[in-house]
Copies of this chain bind each other. A is one copy, B any other.
């Protein structure tokens, strides 16, 4: 981690607050047609171009959401953006702008801010969103990132959590549980390093799950795929806290129940082999691990043929009339009641 004990590093006080913001944002160019004016005035000006606005905000705190012992600052900046874009994607909308605020204690020099903003910039370029505002401040301790994301959509395309109907199919993108095991590897190697700083961390063979944890991606591509397939989901949410917790949200807000089939839950081979190594059940990581940032949605049963052969979508269950939620155990008829043991910023302290 960057520490300002190094005399070559630049204390933030040498630039001041305005100087720091100016320094970090001077190379920004706006790409979105809806971004009329960005950083530099009292507020940014956006042009909705006749569409509805989707807006969401998430705050990430050091020691709660990330450990700078093994999370590079650039990855952190990237992930902070992704987490928020994922919320816009979960409304089936197109993300267009972000605002980023950073509170950091004076142990973070200008170079640390530069790393965070390099990650933010990379995410902006990758997702074609514009950074249009933000704020920086010093703080008493630690590092906190607060990101607000804005997206746009035609009214008829927006998908809420509340639209699932009985017999709708439950679909998830990509695979689940990888981010959880990526974190286990990072924590294991960090402990080894703390015990013996001469040990090199063993990261080989864990590339995929490490990337799932350190550099997750938001599924902003799904909107276009669904559009091409001619499918409009009836409800949608992103998988940030684990499949179980998200299913319960859809259940609660749609007033339906769900049957989830254990054998249908998509798992990457690396997730399975690492789970094996830790003597853990990979399904538990998919259900309760969180941070996969895939999309979970429901579609009308009549849309089955449109998506059944798509390699990125897994049909993992269906909605029921009764509001209870069950996991159907692999290779049996046994029903296990789903409960939310998802990741919780408070319970994990």
Bitwise, A126-168 to B at CB < 8 A (1) or not (0) is 0000001111111111101010111100000010111000000
A54-69: which residues lie under 8 A (CB-CB) from chain B? Answer: 54-65
| A253 contacts B40, C-beta separation under 8 Å | yes
- CB contact under 8 A between A146 and B90, given known A64-B138, A349-B13: no
| A13 contacts B347, C-beta separation under 8 Å | yes
Cβ-defined partner of A20 (8 Å) among B37, B57, B346: B346
| A141 contacts B138, C-beta separation under 8 Å | no
A37 to B155: give the CA distance in the assembly, Å. Answer: 12
Chain B residue at minimum C-beta to C-beta distance from A48 = B48
Cβ-defined partner of A61 (8 Å) among B55, B139, B344: B139
Residues of B within 8 A of A15 (CB): 346
The smallest beta-carbon distance between A79 and chain B, in angstroms, is 15
Q: Would you call A93 an interface residue if the criterion is a C-beta within 8 Å of the partner chain's C-beta atoms? A: yes
| B47 contacts A238, C-beta separation under 8 Å | no
A236 to B149: give the CA distance in the assembly, Å. Answer: 26
Binds B, one of A98-106, A180-188, A313-321: A98-106
- CB contact under 8 A between A17 and B345, given known A53-B45, A93-B43: yes
The smallest beta-carbon distance between A113 and chain B, in angstroms, is 11
Bitwise, A75-110 to B at CB < 8 A (1) or not (0) is 000000000000110110100010101110010000
The smallest beta-carbon distance between A115 and chain B, in angstroms, is 18
A69 to B59: give the CA distance in the assembly, Å. Answer: 25
Residues of B within 8 A of A57 (CB): 99, 101, 133-135, 146, 148
Residues of B within 8 A of A102 (CB): 59
Chain B residue at minimum C-beta to C-beta distance from A146 = B146
A45 to B53: give the CA distance in the assembly, Å. Answer: 6
Bitwise, A15-51 to B at CB < 8 A (1) or not (0) is 1111010000000000000001100111111111001
A58 to B148: give the CA distance in the assembly, Å. Answer: 11
The count of residues in chain A whose C-beta lies closer than 8 Å to any C-beta of chain B is 75
Chain B residue at minimum C-beta to C-beta distance from A132 = B55
A60 to B59: give the CA distance in the assembly, Å. Answer: 13
Chain B residue at minimum C-beta to C-beta distance from A248 = B18
A151 to B149: give the CA distance in the assembly, Å. Answer: 15
A229-250: which residues lie under 8 A (CB-CB) from chain B? Answer: 236-238
A141 to B349: give the CA distance in the assembly, Å. Answer: 13
A20 to B137: give the CA distance in the assembly, Å. Answer: 26
| B137 contacts A140, C-beta separation under 8 Å | no
Cβ-defined partner of A142 (8 Å) among B97, B99, B140: B140
The smallest beta-carbon distance between A290 and chain B, in angstroms, is 12
A159-179: which residues lie under 8 A (CB-CB) from chain B? Answer: 160-162
Q: Would you call A52 an interface residue if the criterion is a C-beta within 8 Å of the partner chain's C-beta atoms? A: yes
Residues of B within 8 A of A141 (CB): 140-142
| B345 contacts A64, C-beta separation under 8 Å | no
A46 to B88: give the CA distance in the assembly, Å. Answer: 13
Q: Would you call A123 an interface residue if the criterion is a C-beta within 8 Å of the partner chain's C-beta atoms? A: no
A237 to B43: give the CA distance in the assembly, Å. Answer: 10
Chain B residue at minimum C-beta to C-beta distance from A91 = B43
Q: Would you call A12 an interface residue if the criterion is a C-beta within 8 Å of the partner chain's C-beta atoms? A: yes
Given contacts A59-B102, A135-B146, 4 further A-B contacts (CB under 8 A): A16-B346, A42-B238, A103-B146, A146-B146
Q: Which 6 A-B pairs have the closest CB atoms?
A: A141-B141, A146-B146, A43-B56, A42-B90, A46-B53, A48-B48
